[in-house]
Structure 1
C-alpha cells in the first residue's frame, strides 16, 4: 500500500466520520460508492460503533455481505447489536457455519439463541455441529461442509461430486476419501483428479492422510496444518470418522488470533480482539488495569527487599546507584529467554518434557552473558569507586543473568505443563520476580565482599 493511497484513505475516513456526525448521508454514500471491499473494511475498522452502523446501512446488499464476512468477529458483534433484526438474520444466514460460531462466541448469551432460531433447518444443524465442541478445540473452528469420495469410485465420478458440491463446500482442492464406515482412508487432490483418466479408481490416486481429532487444541491443529503445508486438514472423531475440515485460510486465521493474544499478554495487557482505533476507551482501560494492579502488587516485593537491606544501603550508599542497572539487566535477560522459549513452544520446537534440556541451555546462556556483562561492569566500576565495589557489581551481574535466563526459559514450559497460557507467565511476571531475586543476590554478595 503506497503512502499516497494511505493518505487518501485517512482523509476519506476523516471526512466520512464528519459527514456521519452531521447526518450528511448523501455525502457519505457518495464517498463510499465505488470503494472495494477491503477499503470499506478499513473504513469500518476506524469508525465508532454508531458511525459504522450508519455506513453499513448505506452499502448495497451484496457488498454489505462481503464487508460483514471480512470484519473481525468482535466488530460483527457490534453491528449485530446496532442493526435491525431482519438485517441481522440475513447477514447471519450468509455466513459459513464455522464463521457463525466465531461470531456467536462474541455475542451476548441472550442473542445467540435468537439468531440460531432464525436459520433454515439445514444451516442450524450444521452450525449446531460446530457449536457442540469445546471452545478451545479445533472442532469449534472446523467447517462441516465438504466433499468426499470413496476408494472404489472413479476419477470422473468424484469430479461429478465436486461439481455438485461447489456451492456449499468449504474447499474442493483436498478431498477426503472415506471407507464404508466413514473413516478417513486417504485424501486426493483436485489436481491429481483432473490429471488422471476418468476410469482411474480413487484407491490408485489417494495418498496417506494427515488428520486431527476434533477435540485437539485449535492452535495445535492449525499449526500442524500450516507446518505440513496442507490446503486442508480432515477433522475426525475418536473413531477416525470425518466430522469436518480445516482449510489453510482458517488455520492462518487461528494462528494470527493466538499470536495476537500471546503478544498482548507478553506486554502485560489483555488482547483487544478488534482493531485499535475501533476499540472503545473503556475497553482499552479494562484490558490494562488488571495487569497493572497485579504487577503493582508484585512490585511491592522489591520495596520489601530494599527495606530489609536498608542498613546495608546506609552503610555503603554507592550501592544504591547500581540498583536500576542490575534489576534492569536481570529483567531484560529474563524477558529475552521467556520470549525465545514461548515462541519455540508456539512453533512446536520444544515441549514441556524438554524442560531439563532448556534449563541446561539457559543456565549456560545466562552464565555466558553474565560473564561478558560482569567483566564490563567490573572494568567500569573499579576505576571510579573501588575494587570491592567493582567485584560486587561484576559477580552480581554473573549471578543475576544466570538466574534470570534460567527462570525466563523454564517458566513458560512450566506454565504449558499445567495447561496455562505461557504468555501469561512471560515478561511482566518474570520481570517482577527477577527484580526481587536480583536485589537479594546483589545485597548478599555486597555484604559478603564489603564485610558490612
Structure 2
C-alpha cells in the first residue's frame, strides 16, 4: 500500500526534474484535486507555482481550497498580479479570512486591495471576529428562507440564490427581522407539498451557535449532533451565516494535530511536514526539550538526597530504570486518556476528583500485576528483600503516576491552560522524580535504614 501511495510522487518528481510540461499536464489531469493539493504542499515554492499555473481556472480554485493557509500563501506569492487577484476574488470568504488571519500584514493588505467591494466587505466582517471564534470560520453566503413562504416559493429562492451560496442543504428559517426560527433541509423542502408553509416544515429543535463562541467547541457539537451545518447568530439571535461540516472537520483536525504535537513535547507548526525545513522542525522541538532537561534535574537532586541509601544497598540502583520507566509510562497513559476525554467532552473539569479516584484504582491494579512480575525477577537476580522493595514501590508509583497524569490536564483546563500542554513527557519527568522518592522511602522502611 505504501509503495502504491509513493508512486505518484516519484513520477511527478521525475516530470518536474525533466521540466516535461505536457507530461505534467497529463499527470494533473489524471489525479483528483486532493492528491494534487498534497503534492503542492510537498513541493518547494517554484515547483508548487509551476504546477498550479498548469491547472485550468476552475480546477485550480478547487485545488487551492484544499491547501492549508501556509501553502496557499506560498502559491499566491509566486503568481502574477492578474492570476493572484482572480484566485483571491473567487475564494470563499471564510477560507480567505483564515488565510489572511495567518499571513503577514503586508501580504494581507495586498490581498484586500485586490478584492471587489463585496468580497472585501465579507472578508473584513469575518476578520473582525476573535481568532478562534465561529465567526472566523462561518460562511456568510447562505440562503435564508422567510417563515411565511410556501415550499414552492422557498425552492424558487434556492434556485435563484443557491449558486452564490456555499451550501443549500441546510437552510436557516427567519422572520421578518432576521431572527432565527429553525432550519429546513433541502430534502424536506423538495418532498413537501408545494403549498405547505416553511414554518410548518422547519425544525426549531436544532443546535445553534453564536459568532463569538469557540469554534472547536462548535465543531465538536456538530460531531456530536451529526448535522451538516450549524446556524450562526449574533447576540440578538439574528442569522449571520453557517458553520459547514467541511470547515468543522478542518477545525477538529487542526485541534487534534496541535494536541498530538503538544503531547509529544513539541510546538505545533503550520504547513506540510515534507515542506518544512530541518531548522523549522528542530525549532518546534527545542524549547520543550530544554524545559524537560531543566525539569529532569529534579531526578538528579533526588538521587543526591538518597545517596546514603544507595551506598548502603547498591542493588537498589539496578531497578531504578525499571521503576522510573514504568511510572512514567503509567502517567503518560493516564494523561493521554484525560486529554482525549476532555477534547471529546466525556469529562469536565468538575469531574477531577472522580477521575483521580478512578485512575488511582487503575494504577493500583496495574501496579499489583507488575509487582508480581518484579518480585519474581528481583528474587532471581538479587534477593527477596530488594525484590519486595521494588514490588511495593511499583504498586505505589503506578497508583501515584496514574493519579497525577489524569488530574494535571483537568486542573490545567480549569485555570485556562491548554490541557495538551501538560504533555506526556512533562508528566513523565515529574513522575520520575517523585517515583524515586517513593522507591527510596519504601526501601528505607524495608531495610530499616
Structures share fold, TM-score greater than 0.5: yes
Are 2:147 and 2:175, in contact at CA under 8 Å, matched by a contact in 1?
A: yes
Deviation at 1:416, TM superposition (A): 1.2
Deviation at 1:37, TM superposition (A): 2.2
Equivalent in the alignment of 2:332: 335
Residue 54, structure 1, aligned to residue 53, structure 2: no
Structure 2, unpaired ranges of 5+: none
In 1, Cα distance between equivalents of 2:313 and 2:428? 26
How many pairs align?
A: 448
Which string of whole-angstrom CA distances, capped at 9 and with x for unpartnered residues, describes residues 367-418 of structure 1?
Answer: 1111111222123212432222111101110111011000111111111112
- Secondary structure at the residue paired with 1:105? helix
Residue 394, structure 1, aligned to residue 391, structure 2: yes
| Partner residue of 1:244 out of 241, 246, 259 | 241
TM normalised by structure 1 equals: 0.95
1:141-160 correspondence runs (5 A): 141-160=137-156
Equivalent in the alignment of 1:15: 14
In 2, Cα distance between equivalents of 1:66 and 1:289? 37
| Partner residue of 2:34 out of 35, 38, 51 | 38
In 1, Cα distance between equivalents of 2:373 and 2:247? 50
- Secondary structure at the residue paired with 1:185? strand
Deviation at 1:85, TM superposition (A): 3.1
| Partner residue of 1:268 out of 223, 243, 265 | 265
- Secondary structure at the residue paired with 1:147? coil
In 2, Cα distance between equivalents of 1:26 and 1:152? 56
In 2, Cα distance between equivalents of 1:385 and 1:48? 59
Are 2:12 and 2:27, in contact at CA under 8 Å, matched by a contact in 1?
A: no
In 1, Cα distance between equivalents of 2:95 and 2:193? 37
Residue 381, structure 1, aligned to residue 378, structure 2: yes
Question: After TM superposition, which residue ranges in structure 1, 4 or more long, deviate above 3 angstroms?
Answer: 2-5, 24-36
| Partner residue of 1:136 out of 109, 132, 136 | 132
- Secondary structure at the residue paired with 1:349? coil
1:349-360 correspondence runs (5 A): 349-360=346-357
Residue 346, structure 1, aligned to residue 343, structure 2: yes
TM normalised by structure 2 equals: 0.95
Deviation at 1:364, TM superposition (A): 1.1
Q: CA RMSD in A?
A: 1.7
In 2, Cα distance between equivalents of 1:239 and 1:132? 18
Equivalent in the alignment of 2:283: 286
Equivalent in the alignment of 2:166: 170
Residue 123, structure 1, aligned to residue 119, structure 2: yes
In 1, Cα distance between equivalents of 2:78 and 2:431? 47
